[in-house]
Structure 1
């Protein structure tokens, strides 16, 4: 059974996934957390500095190696029994308290660094973030429902390419689509609403002055977050998906792009 975790007002968790000090991302981290701390309490999970192990293993499953039980179920049983490792329990406590989640990372091979993917794998366990069904509707409590409803997330990402390359017709693919597995498949899956991406383009070629401008731009964005509306996806519980999988044919007919899952 999934427990719904009400967040503490004016509390934020900033999950940071970059290995280098005095990098562009480091400057963005310091500018962003400074701006955010002026309006709420900020806790930083610096995954590389913490030495966070991204590899899900038997220790995350209560040290059970039962081939008859799925990984998600074993992790859920370990969570319910209080057997998860201390580093995972600490991250879950930080996330449970946070009203705002910030994920900051560089785009590597058109996705997040492995350490952040591992954070998702190990922290968003069954029982903590998802797992049960809506007792009235009989559908899984996911995609707009789950243990982490009531939160918003901001994704801050640095990319080495320009806006055209990562645009709707770009050779690298549209960035919103590339990060759909995070904004929809991870965050919305457990009930977290996402704000528009904050993207720093041409990150590899920025000089110190350009890095300073980007730090100021992020601080300004952080200062105005309270007035932003999240990007809402369709909720599974609203009955717009046939069974529990495909969008009804009468909604966005003829379209197969990822934008069909936006509620707006």
Structure 2
């Protein structure tokens, strides 16, 4: 095996539970990120669901995309990553680690991505997971309809994010910018682009200051969100339709909600 994967099934899960993939990224197994990932796995299994996990640091996930990802690509040719990704998919030469993660995504009914916000983005190892796993002809390409279609359509996805800032500083008037906009490139640009139904993120502000009482409150709030993983209404991102967008992929005038601007234009 090239990964740290766990899968447990209960009789209730076999009878009617759903399948959930938890992907998490933190270098310390004693971290809040790891604790929340473990809590989610325990809670979901207790509710009768099947759970698999990808602990990227424990797996020693290769974060960089390079020629080693495409063993079938001619070494004397310039590395065209998109073209090489298409070629690897078509010829069955994807590396084993990428194939395994893609298969887990195909298996899942829902995905939870657990990570700390580092420099306004995901940890590099998680970005590398997105870069390498969400490859051509699997997550994008000529045969994959972006923003609402594709092989990953129908899967729910929840970002569970810890960060050090206070809630007001990532609010509508916060100096860091609204958290919804900080997460937009991941939620809309990667996950919704590839057809997934994106839920409102679960966020933990001031994570380094969390004490035991604070963790108990966070755990209770997280359990409540997990209970709605398959019933909660996803964010109403606009699908890519000719009714809403021009051929240049620009939102048509008059389609926006009253008062909407910026990234909010793409919420129906």
Please list, as runs of the form range in 1=range in 2, the aligned pairs for 1:95-134 lying within 5 A after superposition: 95-133=105-143
Please list, as runs of the form range in 1=range in 2, the aligned pairs for 1:117-196 lying within 5 A after superposition: 117-133=127-143, 141-196=145-200
d(CA) in 2 for partners of 1:211 and 1:255? 36
On the 8 A contact 2:156/2:199 being kept in 1, the answer is: yes
Question: CA RMSD, aligned part only?
Answer: 1.9
C-alpha offsets along residues 168-204 of structure 1, whole Å, 9 cap, x if unaligned? 1100110000000011000011100101110011101
C-alpha offsets along residues 110-131 of structure 1, whole Å, 9 cap, x if unaligned? 1110111111110011111221
Q: Secondary structure at the match of 1:108?
A: coil
Shift of 1:255: 5.1
Match of 2:26 among 3, 6, 18: 18
Q: Secondary structure at the match of 2:58?
A: helix
Equivalent position of 2:51 in the other structure: 42
More relative contact order in 1 or in 2 (CA 8 Å, sep 6+)?
1
On the 8 A contact 2:21/2:112 being kept in 1, the answer is: yes
Shift of 1:24: 1.4
d(CA) in 1 for partners of 2:219 and 2:95? 35
C-alpha offsets along residues 42-66 of structure 1, whole Å, 9 cap, x if unaligned? 1000000000011011122334353
Distance 1:75 1:151, change over 3 A: same
Match of 1:247 among 240, 251, 262: 251
d(CA) in 1 for partners of 2:82 and 2:193? 14
Q: How many residues align?
A: 249
Match of 1:215 among 219, 227, 234: 219
Q: Which runs of 5+ in 2 are unaligned?
A: 1-15
1:259 has 2:264 as partner: yes
Equivalent position of 1:60 in the other structure: 69
C-alpha offsets along residues 104-155 of structure 1, whole Å, 9 cap, x if unaligned? 100000111011111111001111122125xxxxxx6101111211111000
d(CA) in 2 for partners of 1:102 and 1:64? 36
Distance 1:215 1:79, change over 3 A: same
d(CA) in 1 for partners of 2:17 and 2:141? 25
d(CA) in 2 for partners of 1:43 and 1:161? 30
Q: Which runs of 5+ in 1 are unaligned?
A: 1-7, 134-139
d(CA) in 2 for partners of 1:254 and 1:153? 28
Shift of 1:211: 1.8
